[in-house]
Structure 1
């Protein structure tokens, strides 16, 4: 293990260790999350999903830090996306059981209040499927646009605050990778199964688990980036 890897993973462990060794810290997190869910969503995604991108940078370049990468702008974007992800969780976890009940699965709403059952698994799968087919492509495309904007402006906070040229960036995205890998492969084969697990968890842990998956997203983005240069 290289020195930079040791330092990075030591910092990673120290960041989360208090939540595992201190019941007081863990209880504070649970209470704060219940009272300020949107704030914690912003913080969790700003930290965890950005860590995922830093790991992705390590995979692509061999370094955790690179000039022009823009860690702070990326964290701001992920914090904002965390707010939309929390919103989508509420919308789809509430609306999907109602829709399934409308279709005739009358126990759909009650199933999510129970311990693990086949009905609950089916409803969780449907929530994940609807969310990832309707919301995820928009979020992923928006993230790619902001990612490109950050790189085009040298990764600086001042550059990030400049107006985003959505039309130009959108037209010039690598849609071969975006469609054939990000959409067609990661959504059905990773995100739908992963978020099915997410919606089987208690509500207090769902966004946290989704934010942890943001680390995996960083790796997937790194793979997509490597594909785009082939």
Structure 2
């Protein structure tokens, strides 16, 4: 763990990109398996690398937002707008702030990148992605922001796997997985 933390401290953006590229793509893959109710390889034809590149690209604004919104809520504490000495309140406030302000932009950007990769213009069910900010990402990031800063992006990338599993489990069975288009 010391080596991991040293890498995160030395190369925060590169490590965010690596963690999201691997774990975000894994979440896409596992979600596709669960949605199709079978183990298969839905990431053929170069889709694998494009998905990894998408996640690596998304990692940069996510990492910057994590740092920026943590500073935002700390500034609110310094100005007396949030209670001092309440780390769980601060974690929840940071999660709510990032998910209400940055989250919608990320959901839309993520969908746009998925559409570009798949060659589609699919904006159907974007409301589900936006609702996931409230039912999944606010609680998940409240836990994330309760951790020390060096652990946050790794857990956020891991949450992408968890969300992929959840969405895959509750997805109707598809003859062809969404990722194969």
Q: With the length of structure 2 as denominator, give the TM-score of the two structures.
A: 0.85
Whether 1:102 aligns to 2:79 is yes
Q: Which has the higher mean CA deviation after the structures are superposed, 98-107 or 40-49?
A: 98-107
Aligned residue for 1:63?
A: 39
Partner Cα separation in structure 1 for residue 82 and residue 118 of structure 2: 47
Aligned pair in 2 of structure 1 residues 104, 52: CA closer, same or farther (>3 Å)?
Answer: closer
Q: Report the 3-state secondary structure (helix = DSSP H, G, I; strand = E; otherwise coil) of the residue aligned with 2:71.
A: helix
Whether 2:60 is the aligned partner of 1:90: answer no
Unaligned runs of 5+ in 1: 1-25, 112-118, 154-168
List structure 1 runs of 4+ shifted beyond 3 angstroms. 103-106, 220-229
Question: Cα distance, 1:63 vs. partner?
Answer: 3.0
Q: Does the 8 A contact of 1:45 with 1:78 survive in 2?
A: yes
Separation (CA, whole Å) in 1 of partners of 2:115 and 2:171: 12
**Distance in 1, Cα, partners of 2:123 & 2:47:** 19
Q: Any stretches of 5+ residues in structure 2 without a counterpart?
A: 176-181
Check conservation: 2:31, 2:165, Cα contact below 8 A.
yes
Q: How far apart in 1 are the matches of 2:119 and 2:167? A: 17
Distance 1:63 1:227 in 2: 13
Q: Distance in 2 between matches of 1:226 and 1:137?
A: 25
**Deviation sequence 1:22-74 (CA, Å, 0-9, x none):** xxxx3222111111111100000000111000001101222341245811101
What is the number of equivalent residue pairs in this alignment?
173
* Residues 46 and 190 (structure 1), Cα distance of their counterparts in 2 relative to 1, 3 Å cut: same
Q: Tell me the SS of whatever aligns to 1:173.
A: coil
Q: CA RMSD in A?
A: 2.4
Q: CA 1:183/1:32 → structure 2, altered by over 3 Å: closer, same or farther?
A: same
2:178 — aligned with what?
A: none
Question: Which residue does the alignment assign to 1:79?
Answer: 56
Equivalence for 2:179: none
Higher RCO, Cα 8 Å, sep 6+? 2
Task: Work out the CA distance in 1 between the residues paired with 2:171 and 2:50.
Answer: 19
- Tell me the equivalent position of 2:104: 137
Distance between the aligned counterparts of 2:17 and 2:40, measured in 1? 23
Post-superposition Cα deviations, 1:97-124, rounded to whole Å, max 9, x if no partner, equal 21243354362xxx3xxxxxxx111111
Whichever of the two has the greater Rg, that structure is 1
Residue 147 of structure 1 corresponds to 114
Alignment map for 1:36-51 (pairs within 5 Å): 36-51=11-26
